[in-house]
């Protein structure tokens, strides 16, 4: 068996193991771990997956994905909340049917993603990066300044109005855990399938050689725009789940901080492999929780700073030691292990492996 | 082939071991000890109000020390912790201090950490308006948890949202400004004014109190301007204000670290501040002694913070002595400190009554009235209304020159028994304060024409005319 095939088998075994553990999660870990760490890992991983999809297969590092997640969540929140006495006090409080609201929120986000993509797809490199950052900033300013859709105060009660098939996610957090896990698995399979389709293959060709692909007759702009739309779909799913998980949305869920956090998650996990999305999300959330619990609020001794300082150091270390993130580190370790494996001389008459 | 198979098995075993380790971490170490009450104190350690972190914790822990046997670990630094707290026959453990930054997202993250991971039964906090809106919404479907608001002044948590497990033993931002509109109307002759207020729920609530009070007596608010919280350059917002000739005065509701820069931006646009043309909310207190614009604010009338600095009564003397005993040097008259103190006093009273039980039992046992050092009505008792919101005396102040020649605050008025509804103007069905809420309407408020002058810390019988 070749080295690559061996690695693939090993990764599949690990993946199966992780999936089994995830399915058993609520029975194995505490409620806090299930709800705050693992469910959030699935959801933020979906958001990071939208970024990694664009980066790994489209060559586009988009800083708009947190903004798109937020747009989806805000749209949902404004549509479902009802403004009844004792209830929600911010946002449009349209009181729409939750199922309709979810569909509209996702379609709206895809539409906005396609629009963003149509504008950004002609740019490359740093210009593309800055343009997508601008989208997130625009989204943040819109939701914070247009107080009719929220303002600085949180839009609340989003988790109280869910479609029938989703059920009560306020009291039954295990239900939400499995829904988030299911959507995460769906997103993973979707992306793995898409990149093998003719569209996915040509998108990767455009990633590597846009000029050559254009000269071969491929519509580079259209491919990139569509990829942005797909990224918007994935981000929209993450945004809806986040709204149900948090129950509330405020501008800081959509602003520069959220954008940087999603980028950090993707970089820590690995921008080149889709699995890095969830690995990075888990590492980020776990470190955040451990640091907050163990470091005094007035900061680290001598150097000061708290979580952001620690995550900054980790980010630096990853970029220096393994620019492809934790998944890149895994690839590298595997490569080293294979390189060191001594070559066995084949016995006479023994077939080669 | 056999070596590869062995490696696969080793890898699998490693994965299982790592997963088991993670599960162990996840479920370990924060288990509650039976028979103890777990309390969290939530303040802001970052952002516009990060300076108040030690004040919040100090206020809460002063109450624990005085009324529940707590021993401070460091009398100079409240966040160093406290041990030995007992109430209702049970040990009370402070499981953690929340570190907010005045944003709802961080407040929720800290609330989940404190109340779910560290399993706190009760939270005293938060500090800031939108944090309280987020936490009240979080608490609503979780009746087993109890929240005693620390010092957040947004209206929504106890009026429009009003969950049964959320209590507030101090006034909201609107209540704190009761009387200031009438004072500037009568004493300074203001008839038209502009207001500039931070664009978030506390700014809107505080502004709502000023607008309601000023308009009720016949004043008009001709312009409202809304800089975002944490703005650093106020020049464009100040330019939206009408120039001095078009209004009689300006109300400032710009806080945290923004007060000084906002006023300096005004001076750059319209010239030196004339005290008779300015008023505002409690944020103007923080200028005194800290900003170079403060000396030019001497004479300005300012809304209250639920405290009465300089009030000369036996109750205030006792309160100052208590604070000096446990955390000498802490500003006892500061609203951040005092409001957390009062909220924690109420918690201790409730635990003593419930026998240390938490949840619904504690919520039933929490007092619906409590003595308060800065309260004169009803023999010094603050009562809660049906939404568990305090009805409280309010104390407008004036910025004056103290004995050293530096700016300081001095009590100027006494407004008795201010309720959250402002005499029916604000209800659970009315929209929460916002950019256009409340409208400027003439109305009779319960305290209109009854504000008494305070001279040298003593409430006189003279009504402000």
Looking at the complex, report in whole angstroms how far the Cα of residue B142 sits from the nearest Cα belonging to chain A.
9
Looking at the complex, report in whole angstroms how far the Cα of residue A217 sits from the nearest Cα belonging to chain B.
46
B45 inside 8 A of chain A by CB:
yes
Quick check: A269 and A281 in contact, CB under 8 A? yes
Contacts of A144 in chain B (CB under 8 A): 199, 228
Mean pLDDT of chain B: 91
Q: What's the average model confidence in pLDDT over B244-257?
A: 91
Please return the burial class of A220, using the count of CB atoms within 10 Å of its CB with bins 0-12, 13-18 and 19+. middle
Higher pLDDT, A290 or B249: B249
State the pLDDT at residue A345.
Answer: 46
Query: Which residue is closest to B117 within chain A, CA to CA?
Result: A32
Residue (of B341, B342, B340, B361) closest to B352 by Cα position: B361
Measure the CA–CA gap between A80 and A102, rounded to whole angstroms.
9
Measure the CA–CA gap between A151 and A146, rounded to whole angstroms.
6
- C-alpha angle A272/A275/A276, rounded to 5°? 60
Measure the CA–CA gap between A298 and B226, rounded to whole angstroms.
31
Mean pLDDT of chain A: 88
Interface mutation target, options A152, A258, A346, chain B, most CBs of B under 10 Å: A152
B133 inside 8 A of chain A by CB:
yes
Contacts of B138 in chain A (CB under 8 A): 247-248
Give the DSSP H or E segment for B390.
strand B390-394
Q: Where are the beta strands (DSSP E) in chain A?
A: none
Q: Where are the beta strands (DSSP E) in A67-127?
A: none
Inter-chain touch A10–B8, beta carbons under 8 Å:
yes
Query: Which residue is closest to B4 within chain A, CA to CA?
Result: A6
Inter-chain touch A252–B105, beta carbons under 8 Å:
yes
DSSP for A305-321 reads --HHHHHHHHHHHHHHH
Inter-chain touch B228–A152, beta carbons under 8 Å:
yes
- Structural domains of chain B ordered from first start: 36-171+310-392 (3.40.50.2300), 175-309+393-463 (3.40.50.2300)
Query: Which residue is closest to B8 within chain A, CA to CA?
Result: A10
A137 inside 8 A of chain B by CB:
no
CA distances from A144 to A156, B141, B176, B299 (A): 15, 26, 26, 36
CA distances from B437 to A105, B288, B441 (A): 29, 30, 11
A319 inside 8 A of chain B by CB:
no
Measure the CA–CA gap between B352 and B332, rounded to whole angstroms.
25
Counted across chains A and B, CB pairs separated by less than 8 A come out at 138
The three-class DSSP label of residue B95 is strand
- Residue in A86, A153, A253 closest to B133 by CB: A153
Going by their DSSP bridges, the two strands B166-167 and B146-148 should be labelled as parallel
B465 inside 8 A of chain A by CB:
no
Contacts of A296 in chain B (CB under 8 A): 79
State the pLDDT at residue B24.
Answer: 43
A86 inside 8 A of chain B by CB:
yes
Query: Which residue is closest to A172 within chain B, CA to CA?
Result: B141
Quick check: B269 and B291 in contact, CB under 8 A? no
B23 inside 8 A of chain A by CB:
yes
Number of other CB atoms surrounding residue A126 within 10 Å:
9
Inter-chain touch B96–A293, beta carbons under 8 Å:
yes
Residue B230 has pLDDT above 80, yes or no: no
Contacts of A162 in chain B (CB under 8 A): none
For chain A, residues with pLDDT lower than 50 are 341-353
Looking at the complex, report in whole angstroms how far the Cα of residue B183 sits from the nearest Cα belonging to chain A.
31
Residue (of A100, A88, A239, A204) closest to A155 by Cα position: A88
Inter-chain touch A248–B137, beta carbons under 8 Å:
yes
Quick check: B100 and B44 in contact, CB under 8 A? yes
Contacts of A170 in chain B (CB under 8 A): 141
State the pLDDT at residue A309.
Answer: 79
Inter-chain touch B27–A33, beta carbons under 8 Å:
yes
Number of other CB atoms surrounding residue A81 within 10 Å:
25
State the pLDDT at residue B19.
Answer: 47
CA distances from B362 to A171, B122, B165, B301 (A): 22, 9, 9, 40
Contacts of B134 in chain A (CB under 8 A): 154, 156, 248, 250
State the pLDDT at residue A313.
Answer: 83
Inter-chain touch B15–A156, beta carbons under 8 Å:
no
Inter-chain touch B200–A153, beta carbons under 8 Å:
yes
Chain B, window 188-207: residues with a beta carbon less than 8 angstroms from a chain A beta carbon: 199-201
Looking at the complex, report in whole angstroms how far the Cα of residue A122 sits from the nearest Cα belonging to chain B.
34
Quick check: B110 and B99 in contact, CB under 8 A? yes
pLDDT digits (tens, 9 = 90+) for B96-155: 999 999 899 999 999 999 999 999 999 999 999 999 999 999 999 999 999 999 999 999
Asked if the bond preceding A268 is cis, omega within 30° of 0, the reply is: no
Helix axis angle, B53-68 to B335-354, nearest 10°: 40
Quick check: B238 and B196 in contact, CB under 8 A? yes
State the pLDDT at residue B291.
Answer: 63
DSSP for A229-266 reads HHHHHHHHHHHHHHHHHHS-B-GGGTSHHHHHHHHHHH
Going by their DSSP bridges, the two strands B413-418 and B407-411 should be labelled as unpaired
Query: Which residue is closest to A258 within chain B, CA to CA?
Result: B105
Q: What's the average model confidence in pLDDT over B431-445?
A: 92
The separation between the first and the last C-alpha atoms of chain B, rounded to the nearest angstrom, is 98
Main-chain dihedrals φ then ψ at residue B253, nearest 5 degrees? -130, 55
Residue B426 has pLDDT above 60, yes or no: yes
B353 inside 8 A of chain A by CB:
no
Inter-chain touch A289–B99, beta carbons under 8 Å:
no
A2 inside 8 A of chain B by CB:
no
- Residue in B11, B23, B432 closest to A89 by CB: B432
Interface mutation target, options B18, B100, B103, B162, chain A, most CBs of A under 10 Å: B103
- C-alpha angle B431/B435/B441, rounded to 5°? 70
Inter-chain touch A153–B156, beta carbons under 8 Å:
yes
Contacts of B11 in chain A (CB under 8 A): 10, 13-14
DSSP B50: G
Exposed e or buried b per residue across B353-372, where buried means at least 16 C-beta atoms within 10 angstroms of its C-beta = bbebbbeebbbebbbeebeb
Main-chain dihedrals φ then ψ at residue A54, nearest 5 degrees? -65, -40
Number of other CB atoms surrounding residue B164 within 10 Å:
15
Interface mutation target, options B23, B224, B429, chain A, most CBs of A under 10 Å: B23
Looking at the complex, report in whole angstroms how far the Cα of residue A108 sits from the nearest Cα belonging to chain B.
24
Residue B413 has pLDDT above 90, yes or no: yes
Residue (of A100, A174, A132) closest to A259 by Cα position: A132
- Residue in B26, B108, B163 closest to A246 by CB: B108
State the pLDDT at residue B288.
Answer: 59
Main-chain dihedrals φ then ψ at residue A31, nearest 5 degrees? -60, -40
* Percentage of chain B exceeding pLDDT 90: 79
Query: Which residue is closest to A25 within chain B, CA to CA?
Result: B23
State the pLDDT at residue B1.
Answer: 60
Looking at the complex, report in whole angstroms how far the Cα of residue B399 sits from the nearest Cα belonging to chain A.
31
Chain A, window 17-46: residues with a beta carbon less than 8 angstroms from a chain B beta carbon: 17-18, 21, 28-33, 35-37
Measure the CA–CA gap between A75 and A102, rounded to whole angstroms.
9
pLDDT digits (tens, 9 = 90+) for B290-336: 667 788 889 999 999 999 999 999 999 999 999 999 999 999 999 99
B41 inside 8 A of chain A by CB:
no
pLDDT digits (tens, 9 = 90+) for B13-57: 544 444 444 444 444 445 556 789 999 999 999 888 888 999 999
Residue B5 has pLDDT above 80, yes or no: no
Residue (of A164, A181, A151, A154) closest to A241 by Cα position: A181
Measure the CA–CA gap between B120 and B37, rounded to whole angstroms.
8
């Amino acid at each position: 068996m070749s080295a690559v095939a061996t690695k693939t088998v090993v990764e599949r075994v690990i993946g199966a193991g992780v999936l089994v553990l995830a399915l058993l999660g609520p029975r194995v870990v505490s409620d806090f771990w299930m709800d705050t760490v693992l469910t959030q890992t699935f959801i933020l991983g979906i958001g990071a997956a939208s970024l990694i999809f664009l980066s790994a297969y489209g060559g586009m590092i988009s800083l708009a994905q947190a903004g798109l997640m937020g747009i989806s969540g805000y749209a949902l929140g404004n549509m479902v909340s009802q403004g009844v006495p004792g209830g929600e006090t911010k946002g449009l409080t349209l009181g729409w049917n939750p199922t309709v609201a979810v569909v509209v929120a996702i379609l709206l986000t895809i539409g906005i993603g396609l629009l963003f993509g149509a504008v950004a797809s002609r740019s490359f490199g740093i210009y593309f990066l800055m343009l997508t950052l601008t989208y997130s900033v625009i989204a943040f300013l819109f939701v914070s300044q247009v107080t009719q859709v929220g303002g600085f105060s949180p839009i609340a009660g989003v988790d109280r109005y869910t479609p029938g098939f989703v059920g009560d996610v306020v009291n039954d957090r295990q239900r939400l855990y499995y829904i988030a896990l299911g959507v995460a698995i769906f997103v993973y399979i979707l992306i793995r399938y898409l990149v093998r389709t003719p569209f996915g293959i040509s998108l990767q060709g455009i990633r590597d050689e846009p000029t050559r692909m254009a000269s071969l007759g491929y519509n580079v702009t259209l491919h990139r725009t569509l990829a942005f739309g797909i990224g918007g779909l994935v981000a929209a799913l993450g945004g809806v789940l986040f709204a149900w998980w948090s129950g509330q949305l405020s501008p800081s869920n959509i602003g520069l901080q959220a954008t940087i956090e999603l980028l950090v998650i993707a970089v820590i996990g690995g921008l080149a492999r889709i699995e890095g999305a969830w690995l990075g999300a888990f590492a980020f959330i776990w470190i955040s929780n451990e640091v907050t619990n163990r470091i005094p609020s007035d900061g680290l001794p001598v150097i000061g700073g708290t979580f952001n300082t620690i995550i900054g150091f980790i980010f630096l270390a990853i970029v220096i030691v393994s620019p492809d993130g934790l998944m890149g580190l895994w690839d590298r370790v595997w490569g080293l292990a294979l390189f060191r494996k001594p070559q066995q001389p084949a016995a006479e008459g023994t077939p080669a492996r | 082939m056999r070596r590869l198979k062995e490696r696969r098995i080793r890898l699998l075993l490693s994965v299982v071991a790592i997963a088991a380790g993670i599960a162990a971490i996840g479920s370990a170490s924060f288990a509650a000890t039976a028979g103890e009450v777990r309390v969290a104190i939530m303040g802001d350690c970052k952002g516009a109000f990060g300076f108040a972190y030690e004040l919040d914790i100090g206020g809460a822990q002063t109450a624990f020390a005085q009324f529940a046997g707590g021993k401070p670990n460091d009398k100079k630094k409240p966040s160093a912790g406290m041990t030995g707290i007992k109430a209702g026959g049970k040990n009370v453990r402070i499981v953690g201090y929340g570190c907010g930054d005045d944003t709802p997202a961080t407040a929720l993250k800290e609330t989940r950490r404190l109340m779910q991971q560290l399993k706190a039964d009760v939270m005293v906090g938060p500090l800031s308006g939108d944090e309280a809106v987020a936490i009240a919404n979080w608490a609503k479907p979780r009746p087993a948890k109890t929240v005693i608001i620390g010092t957040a002044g947004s209206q929504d948590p106890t009026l429009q949202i009003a969950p049964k497990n959320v209590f507030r033993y101090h006034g909201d931002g609107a209540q704190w400004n009761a009387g200031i509109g009438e004072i500037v109307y009568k004493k300074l002759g203001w008839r038209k004014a502009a207001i500039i207020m931070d664009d978030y729920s506390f700014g809107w609530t505080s502004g709502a109190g000023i607008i309601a009070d000023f308009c009720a007596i016949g004043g008009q608010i001709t312009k409202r301007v809304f800089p975002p919280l944490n703005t650093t350059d106020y020049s464009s917002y100040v330019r939206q204000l009408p120039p001095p000739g078009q209004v009689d005065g300006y109300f400032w509701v710009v806080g945290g670290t923004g007060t000084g820069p906002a006023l300096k931006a005004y001076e750059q646009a319209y010239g030196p501040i004339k005290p008779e043309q300015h008023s505002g909310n409690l944020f103007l207190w923080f200028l005194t002694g800290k900003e170079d614009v403060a000396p030019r604010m001497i004479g300005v009338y300012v809304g209250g913070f639920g405290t009465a600095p300089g009030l000369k009564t036996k109750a205030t003397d006792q309160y100052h002595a208590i604070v000096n005993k446990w955390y000498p040097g802490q500003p006892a008259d500061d609203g951040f400190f005092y409001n957390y103190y009062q909220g924690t006093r109420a918690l201790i009273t409730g635990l003593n009554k419930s026998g240390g039980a938490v949840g619904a039992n504690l919520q039933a046992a929490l007092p619906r009235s409590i003595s308060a050092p800065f309260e004169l009505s009803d023999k010094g008792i603050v009562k809660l209304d049906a939404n568990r919101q305090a009805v409280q005396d309010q104390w407008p102040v004036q910025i004056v020159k103290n004995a050293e020649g530096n700016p300081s605050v001095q009590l100027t008025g006494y407004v008795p028994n201010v309720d959250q509804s402002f005499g029916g103007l604000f209800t659970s069905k009315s929209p929460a304060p916002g950019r256009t809420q409340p409208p400027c309407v003439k109305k009779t408020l319960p305290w209109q024409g009854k504000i008494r002058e305070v001279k040298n810390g003593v409430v006189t019988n003279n009504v402000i005319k």
